[in-house]
Amino acid sequence: MYVVKRVAQAFVTFVSVVTITFALVRAIPGGPADFIRAQVMQAGGSSEVSMSEINSLVESYTNIDPSTPLHVQYFNYLTSVLQGDLGTSVWYSRPVADIIADAAPWTIFLLTISILLTFAIGIVLGAVMAYLEGTRFDSSSTVVSMFLNSVPYYIAAIFLVYVVSIQLGMLPQSGRFASGLDPGLNVEFIVSVFRHAILPIVSLVATGFGGVAITMRGNAVQEIGEDYIRVAHLRGVPGKRIATRYVGRNAVLPMYTNFMIAVGFMFGGSVILEEIFAYEGLGLYLLQAIEARDYPLMMGTFLIISLAVLICILIADLTYSKIDPRISDQGSREAY
Partner 1 sequence: MAEKNSSFSQSDGSAGGQGATRTDLYREWLDMAVLTPIRVAWDDWRTQVGSIIIAFYLLMGSVGVVLVDPPNQGQGPRLTPAFQDWSVPLGTNDIGESILSATVHATPPMLQMIAAGAVFSTALATVIGTVSGYKGGLTDRVLTTLTDIAMTIPGLPLIILLAALFEPTNPAVIGILITINAWAGLARSIRSQVLSLRDHSYVEASRIMGAPTRRILVDDIIPNIMPYVLINFVNSARNVIFGSVGLYYLGLLGGTHENWGIMLDGAYNGGAIYSLQVVHWLFVPMIAIIGISFGFVLFAQGTEKLFNPRIRARHAETVEDDTAPHQQ
Residue 147 Cβ vs partner 1, minimum distance, rounded to whole Å: 6
Does 82 sit near partner 1 (CB under 8 A)?
Answer: no
Residue 149 Cβ vs partner 1, minimum distance, rounded to whole Å: 6
Among 130, 205, 220, 313, which residue interacts with partner 1 (rule: CB under 8 A)? 313
Yes or no: say if 86 and 303 are a contact pair by the CB < 8 Å rule.
yes
Does 105 sit near partner 1 (CB under 8 A)?
Answer: no
Does 240 sit near partner 1 (CB under 8 A)?
Answer: no
Does 306 sit near partner 1 (CB under 8 A)?
Answer: yes
Does 25 sit near partner 1 (CB under 8 A)?
Answer: yes
Question: By C-beta, is 54 or 207 nearer to partner 1?
Answer: 207
| Radius of gyration, CA atoms only, the chain | 25
Among 78, 128, 254, 328, which residue interacts with partner 1 (rule: CB under 8 A)? 254
Does 13 sit near partner 1 (CB under 8 A)?
Answer: yes
Helix axes 96-131, 187-224, angle to 10 degrees: 40
Does 36 sit near partner 1 (CB under 8 A)?
Answer: no
Does 166 sit near partner 1 (CB under 8 A)?
Answer: yes
Question: By C-beta, is 11 or 194 nearer to partner 1?
Answer: 11
Among 92, 218, 229, 249, which residue interacts with partner 1 (rule: CB under 8 A)? 218
Question: By C-beta, is 46 or 257 nearer to partner 1?
Answer: 257
Residues forming contacts to partner 1 in the complex (CB under 8 A) are 9-10, 12-14, 16-17, 20-21, 24-25, 27-29, 142, 146-147, 149-155, 158-159, 161-162, 166-167, 214, 218, 254, 256-258, 260-261, 264-265, 267-269, 271-272, 275-276, 283, 286-287, 290, 298, 301-302, 305-306, 309-310, 313, 326-327, 333-336
